Amino acid sequence: MNLKRLGVLTSGGDAPGMNAAIRAVVRQASALDIEVYGVYRGFQGLVDQDWRPLSSRNCANILQRGGTILNTARCDAFRVKAVRAQVARDLKAADIDALVVIGGDGSFTGATLLSEEQTIPCIGIPGTIDNDLPGTERTLGFDTALNTAIGAIDRIRDTASAHERLFLVEVMGRSSGMIAVHTAIACGAEAVIYPESATDTYEELVTQLRAGWVRGKRSSIVVVAEGDQQLGNAYAVGERLRQDHDLDLRVVVLGHIQRGGSPSAIDRIWGSLWGAEAVKRLAAGEKGCYLGAQAGDLVSIPLARIHDPRPAPPAVLTDLLPVLGR
């Protein structure tokens, strides 16, 4: 294929580093004499043909900005095959030869369908703070979100310690404990509750907290992953602890502050790398894959692997939790 024009979109939850990737797509494409169209609001923008040319100038000063200049959305209409077929026809009519899709698992499911069912060449760039995509050790936004959560919990630690209180801090991760476990290690949390843990029980949590109390700990931080279904969210756990043990505890849900803010160096660098590489690979005829990182190297993963089991928090970290949380 002689690639003359490509589209780029961001979809699903925004993630710091998406703008770095968009900028790199545009600049690398320009260097290869390929025109770029920005598609607005993700797959909804494909359905609505809401796309327009994106120039290097449009991408000035976006590298350091969180969010996404292309906006994002979750699009139910795209689940319908006839809608996808119409999108493919519209893309062809607009001479958009290929797509770079920046997003998470839902976005890559959409890209897989466009690529396999509608034969539109697509390459994905992992953009989700959850870091829960098969085959890649990192996704855009994870590092920034972690640092945001850590900064917030460090502050909470000050007041927890001053008041000798227990804090339950809920972090994001739709059905993944990646943010929770990494944050817990980095903040020296006394306990962490996350969905992939086989030993996550209320009784185990109480035992851990009681052991800390016996050793003289008068304040504790428990990190709770929002995706943990077994024990419920931070409010549910807090309520139970309050009723059973008459504790003066507080619950903090960090929520969307984890999604915003200026991307970290890591997220800017990988956004730039992946953005440029996606264009080079599409120009060379590669398609039907998403980019990732393994052992520090840039790798390409077949889009179909998005249906593989999600990666769990690494054992090298989870093994440390009981030791470091003491």
Please say which residue, 73 or 88, places its beta carbon nearer to ligand F6P: 73
Q: In what order do the strands lie in the sheet with 35-39?
A: 51-53, 35-39, 5-10, 98-103, 122-126, 289-294, 297-302
273: its two tokens = 């790398």
CB-CB contact of 73 with 41 (8 Å): yes
Angle between helices 265-283 and 18-31 (to 10 degrees): 40
CB-CB contact of 43 with 102 (8 Å): no
Options 14, 97, 105, 130, the catalytic residue: 130
CB of residue 259 to ligand F6P, shortest distance in Å = 5
Please say which residue, 23 or 259, places its beta carbon nearer to ligand F6P: 259
Please say which residue, 51 or 142, places its beta carbon nearer to ligand F6P: 142
CB of residue 63 to ligand F6P, shortest distance in Å = 22
Enumerate binding residues for ligand F6P (CB under 6 A).
Answer: 13, 104, 128-130, 172-174, 226, 259
**How far apart are alpha carbons 57 and 27 in whole angstroms?**
10
Please say which residue, 107 or 272, places its beta carbon nearer to ligand F6P: 107
Q: Nearest to residue 55, comparing CAs of 75, 80, 25? A: 25
CB of residue 254 to ligand F6P, shortest distance in Å = 11
Please say which residue, 69 or 206, places its beta carbon nearer to ligand F6P: 69
Q: Is 130 a catalytic residue?
A: yes
Q: In what order do the strands lie in the sheet with 191-193?
A: 191-193, 220-225, 166-171, 249-253
Size (the chain), residues: 326
**How far apart are alpha carbons 157 and 171 in whole angstroms?**
15
CB-CB contact of 138 with 125 (8 Å): no
CB of residue 70 to ligand F6P, shortest distance in Å = 16
CB-CB contact of 5 with 34 (8 Å): yes
Please say which residue, 53 or 255, places its beta carbon nearer to ligand F6P: 255
Helix (H) or strand (E) holding 99: strand 98-103
CB of residue 201 to ligand F6P, shortest distance in Å = 23
**How far apart are alpha carbons 144 and 271 in whole angstroms?**
12
CB of residue 141 to ligand F6P, shortest distance in Å = 8
Residue 53, exposed/middle/buried by CB under 10 A (0-12, 13-18, 19+)?
A: exposed
Residue with the shortest CB distance to ligand F6P: 13
CB of residue 165 to ligand F6P, shortest distance in Å = 26
Please say which residue, 111 or 129, places its beta carbon nearer to ligand F6P: 129
CB-CB contact of 325 with 184 (8 Å): yes
**How far apart are alpha carbons 43 and 19 in whole angstroms?**
17
The catalytic residues are 130
